[in-house]
Amino acid sequence: MADQRINTMNNSKFRKYAHELVDWMADYFEEVEEYPVKPDVQPGDILQQLPNSAPEQSESFDSIFEDFNDTIIPGMTHWESPNFMGYFPANKSYPSVLAEMLTATLGAQCMSWLTSPAATELEEQVMVWLRKLIGMPESFTGVIQGTASTSTLCALLMAREQITDFEVNETGFPSDEQFTVYCSAETHSSIEKDVKIAGFGRRHLRKIPVDKNFAMQPKKLEQAIRSDLEDGYSPTAVVATVGTTGSTAIDPLQAIGEICTKYDVFLHVDAAYAGTALILPENRWMNEGIEHADSFVFNPHKWMFTNFDCSAFYVQDEALLVRTFEIMPEYLKTPEDQRVKNYRDWGIPLGRRFRALKLWFVLRSFGVEGLQEKIRHHISLAQNLKDKIQQHNHFEMLAPVPLNTLCFRFHPNYIDDEEKLDELNEKLLNTIQKSGELFLTHTKLGGSYTIRMVLGNTNVTETHMKKAWKLITEKANQLL
C-alpha cells in the first residue's frame, strides 16, 4: 500500500531524466558565457522563493527541475565561465564531470581497502602519477584530501605529534610547554584557522615579514625561531607558500628548508594553487629545496581541471601520518589490515568519496602533454596582458607575475593620493562586477587596494583576455 502512494523515481524515469540532464549539461558548457558571470541578486532574493519546509508529498522531477532553472540558476555565479577571472579558478573538464557521475552512482565509501579495493589502489597509483607529473622526489607518498585547509591541518597535527612524541594525542597539551608555528605575512587564511583548530593558539603563529616580491624573508624566519627559543618556546612547524593567494609569490624553499633542518622544525609547503604549474619543467625552480619539506599540498581542484573537491597531500613520513590519525575500533578491523592502505587513517574524516576516479579520467584524457599545453597557454595569456598593463599610462602592476595571476591598479598619473587611488580602484572593481561581463576580485598588497585577475579558467582564450582588458580600460575611463 505505502509503496503505491509514494511516487519516488524509478529506474526507467531515472534513465529518461539522466539523458535530459546530460543534454542540459552539454548546453550549459556551450552557453555558459551568455549568462552574467555574477548574478544580479540581493541577499535574501533566493531564500524568499524557497518554501519554509520540505514538501509532504513527492513532487515530480519536472517540477523540481523547473525550479532549478527558474530559481537556482539565476542566482548562481558561473565559475565555469571563461569570463570568471576572480579568486583562483575551481576548474572542471568533461572527463572530470563524467567521472563524478560515476562516483555518485557507485556511491562507495573509500575508508578502508576492503570497502572498495579498486578505489584504494587507484588512489595509490594516481598519487604516484601525480607526484611524477610535478617532479616531486620519490620519497613522498600521497593521499587525496578534501581541501588544502584540511591537508595543512593534517600537516600541523603531524608536526604536533612529532614534537611531543604523540603525547598530545594521549594526554592533551603539556602545561609547561608552548609551541610556535611560522608562516609569512602573505600566507592563506586557512593556516591561521588550522593553527587554532590544532590547539596551538593563534597567538603562537608568527607571521614573518615578506620582501618586495611578497615572499617570506628567510633571515627574518631564523630570527623569529631564535628569539622564540631564547624565550622558552618550542618552534614546531613552518608553513611555506609556493604561490600565495594574494599575488602567487614564491617563498624561497631552499633557504627556508635549510633553516627548518638546522632547528629541527617540521616544514609544510602550501602550493594549493601553484602546484599545478609544476607540471611544466620550466617552473620547477619554484620547488627547489622541496626535499627539506615534510609535507606538501596542491589542489588539482583549482587549476588542474578536476572539479572540487580534490586536494593532493604528500608526506615524507607515512608512518608519522598514520600514527597521528590511526584508530582501530573492532567494527573497522579487516583481515587485510597489515597488507593494505586504509586511507581512513591518513586524514580526518572516516568516510571518503571515490575522488581518485576523476583524477584518473583527467590525467588519461588530457595526457601530460595536454595538461602542459593548457597551463602554458594560461601563463602566456597572463604574461601578454602584463605587458599591455605595463605599457598603459594609467595602469600599473603591483606585484611580479611568475604565473598567471595579475595584480594591478588603475593609476592616472595626476592622482597621487593613496586613499583616492584605493577608492577609485574599489569603484572600478564594483562597476566591472555589475556589468556581469567579467568577474574579478581584489586584495591588498603593501596596504594598497589591488585588483586581481587570474587567467586560468579551463576554456579561457586570447579573445576573453582581450575582451576583459577592453572592458577594464573602458570602465576605468568612464570613472574619470
Ligand X SMILES: *Cc1c(COP(=O)(O)O)cnc(C)c1O
Contact residues for ligand X (CB under 6 A)? 88, 147-149, 188, 190, 241, 244-245, 270, 272-273, 299, 311
d(CA 180, CA 205): 6
What are 413's three cell numbers?
598619473
d(CA 135, CA 184): 25
Of the pair 358, 475, the CB lying nearest ligand X is at 358
Of the pair 168, 277, the CB lying nearest ligand X is at 277
Other C-beta atoms closer than 10 Å to the C-beta of 281 total 9
CB of 147 to ligand X, least distance (A): 3
Of the pair 187, 342, the CB lying nearest ligand X is at 187
CB of 186 to ligand X, least distance (A): 9
CB of 311 to ligand X, least distance (A): 5
What are 462's three cell numbers?
586570447
CB of 444 to ligand X, least distance (A): 16
Of the pair 289, 300, the CB lying nearest ligand X is at 300
Q: Are 276 and 375 in contact (CB under 8 A)?
A: yes
Q: What does R_g of the chain's alpha carbons equal in angstroms?
A: 24
179-184: strand order across its sheet: 141-145, 311-315, 295-298, 266-270, 234-241, 179-184, 205-208
CB of 148 to ligand X, least distance (A): 3
Of the pair 266, 313, the CB lying nearest ligand X is at 313
CB of 271 to ligand X, least distance (A): 7
Of the pair 158, 424, the CB lying nearest ligand X is at 158
In sequence order, the 6+-apart residues with CB closer than 8 A to the CB of 251 are: 184, 215, 216, 240, 241, 242, 244
CB of 290 to ligand X, least distance (A): 16
Of the pair 136, 312, the CB lying nearest ligand X is at 312
Of the pair 200, 273, the CB lying nearest ligand X is at 273
CB of 293 to ligand X, least distance (A): 15
d(CA 83, CA 454): 10
Of the pair 273, 305, the CB lying nearest ligand X is at 273
CB of 23 to ligand X, least distance (A): 31
CB of 184 to ligand X, least distance (A): 11
Closest CA to 398 of 186, 219, 256: 186
Provide the β-strand partners of residue 447.
none
Q: Are 178 and 168 in contact (CB under 8 A)?
A: no
Of the pair 134, 421, the CB lying nearest ligand X is at 134
At CA 268, angle to CA 91 and CA 217, rounded to 5? 100
CB of 218 to ligand X, least distance (A): 19
Decide: helix, strand or coil at residue 187.
coil
d(CA 357, CA 143): 13
- SS3 string of 222-237? HHHHHHHHHCCCEEEE
Q: Are 133 and 277 in contact (CB under 8 A)?
A: no
d(CA 311, CA 194): 16
Long-range CB pairs of 333-338, under 8 A, 24+ apart, other chains included? 334/112, 334/113, 334/114, 336/113, 336/114, 337/112
d(CA 72, CA 464): 26
Of the pair 206, 301, the CB lying nearest ligand X is at 301
CB of 123 to ligand X, least distance (A): 18
Closest CA to 178 of 254, 110, 235, 108: 235
Of the pair 299, 443, the CB lying nearest ligand X is at 299
